[in-house]
Chain A
Amino acid sequence: MNKTDVLIIGAGPTGLFCAHQLGIIGLQCEIVDNLDKAGGQCIELYPDKPIYDIPAVPECTGEELTNNLLKQIKPFNVKFHLNERVEELKKVEKRWHVKTSGNQKFDVAAIIIAGGVGSFEPRKFPIKECEKFEGSSLFYSIKDKTIFKDKTISIFGGGDSALDWAIELSNTSKVNLIHRRDGFSGAESSVQKVKELNDQGKLNLYTKYQMESVSGDNQIGSVKIKHDEGETKELQSDYVLGFFGLIMQLGPILNWGLNINKKTVEVNTENFETNVDGIFAIGDICSYPGKLKLILSGFHEGALAARGCFKYARPDEKLRFEFTTTSKAAQERLGVKK
């Protein structure tokens, strides 16, 4: 059991800056995120795209912003739990017990949800029968590539993941790459490589085809694909891989008794607490009259939510408002050497 003051759900810019604000007022926190790295949408959706509306930063990319925030919270040694999704919350007397998908357990005084638009999940095939094979012979990510050796793999998608895996697996497996159009969104060099391999007969490329159905008993046996013009083909396949990017879903947050309004969590604007005592929500996931989905709004919300947590984490103490420029305590926490 990890015991700390506050658990932050979401390592996007809002969650990261909130960790800073907690650190400044002397509270400990740990951060859980479903992705494999910090940064949230900034890293997952637009790492290279410039952002122009961070106060006092005329221009920076999502990646630079994330790196700077990580640098800013370094003095507080915040512990990250990546690739973990928070599944369950339980109130135990005055504390919250939290369990994640990887069976990590936390005992905390308060929880701050900074979950953006929800957790990123792989986008799946729209065909119902696919669920039956998911995890055994149909995958949306690859954990162990050795299972594909000498097998026939049908890969769907046109982005970098689909192209890279098609190239890599074509060394040891028979690969079909199926994409809905002639154009690809992946790197041009990979597209060229795939076309070369196709010309050399080392993989089979099918463009303007989409999945029509899958069949098999316990394992997939074959997959039927359909051309834009209506023609169908049946491809014998041992495994099917789908790489259609990520979709954002609220997931278990829906089950925590919070007031949800159009995929967002309702909060008050005094300290960004939800209808449940000790659970706060900040950033894109929270809603209140006048809410703007801007990073700078998330920073403000995090500053107030951090202070809102204080009464739960230190019920017998009083929080005094201080500036980092003059507060000795804050500077000590930041490790400022004089």
Chain B
Amino acid sequence: MAKITYHTHDNKTHTIDVQNGLTVMEGAVQNDIPGIDADCGGGMACATCHVYVKEDWFDKLPIKEDGEEDMLDMAYEPKQNSRLSCQLIVSDELDGLEVTIPEKQA
């Protein structure tokens, strides 16, 4: 279990306990957090679960697999700290992770 904080475009903050093994995307979808549509269901095929990871967390996350960076080309306003939340699998190590959902995605 890890506490994940999602900052949404309406300037709200949602802190949620997400089970280990779920993805950061699934944590958002199951809790109706706006802005993460995950159209492709976690298949790394759509970039609608794009998030910005809080700077001090970025280097602690598992590195991007092939294809994630390609898909981020398709995301709205990708930045250095962009990730696809469907590729971030929750574990105890991610406790306290904070992500921000891009405004245009909502």
A and B co-occur in one complex: yes
Task: From A13-21, A63-71, A180-188, A193-201, give the one contacting chain B.
Answer: A180-188
Q: Which of B67-106 contact A (CB under 8 A)?
A: 69-70, 73-74, 76-78, 80, 104
Which 4 A-B pairs give the minimum distances between C-beta atoms? A185-B70, A245-B74, A117-B39, A45-B45
| Contact B73 A158, beta carbon cutoff 8 Å | yes
Interface size class of A (residues with CB under 8 A): 20 to 34
6 contacts between A and B (CB under 8 A): A41-B45, A126-B104, A159-B73, A179-B73, A180-B78, A183-B69
| Contact A181 B69, beta carbon cutoff 8 Å | yes
Interface size class of B (residues with CB under 8 A): 10 to 19
**Cα distance A207–B78 when bound, in Å?**
14
B46 at the binding interface (Cβ < 8 Å)? yes
A244 at the binding interface (Cβ < 8 Å)? yes
| Contact B73 A185, beta carbon cutoff 8 Å | yes
A46 at the binding interface (Cβ < 8 Å)? yes
| Contacting residues, chain A, for B45 (C-beta < 8 A) | 41, 45-46
| Contact B80 A228, beta carbon cutoff 8 Å | yes
Q: Which of B37, B39, B48, B73 contacts A244 (CB under 8 A)?
A: B73
| Contact B73 A157, beta carbon cutoff 8 Å | yes
**Cα distance A46–B74 when bound, in Å?**
15
Residue of A nearest to B48 (CB): A247
B63 at the binding interface (Cβ < 8 Å)? no
B61 at the binding interface (Cβ < 8 Å)? no
CB distance from A274 to the nearest CB of B (A): 21
CB distance from A197 to the nearest CB of B (A): 20
Residues of B at the A interface (CB closer than 8 Å) are 37, 39-41, 43, 45-48, 69-70, 73-74, 76-78, 80, 104
**Cα distance A218–B46 when bound, in Å?**
33
Residue of A nearest to B71 (CB): A185
| Contacting residues, chain B, for A159 (C-beta < 8 A) | 70, 73-74
A328 at the binding interface (Cβ < 8 Å)? no
Known: A117-B39, A183-B70, A185-B69. 15 other contacts (CB 8 A): A45-B40, A117-B40, A123-B74, A126-B76, A159-B70, A179-B73, A181-B69, A185-B70, A185-B73, A210-B77, A228-B80, A244-B73, A245-B47, A245-B73, A247-B46
| Contacting residues, chain B, for A117 (C-beta < 8 A) | 39-40
| Contacting residues, chain A, for B80 (C-beta < 8 A) | 228
| Contacting residues, chain B, for A293 (C-beta < 8 A) | 41
Residue of A nearest to B73 (CB): A158
A263 at the binding interface (Cβ < 8 Å)? yes
CB distance from B53 to the nearest CB of A (A): 16
**Cα distance A183–B76 when bound, in Å?**
18
CB distance from B64 to the nearest CB of A (A): 11
| Contact B77 A126, beta carbon cutoff 8 Å | yes
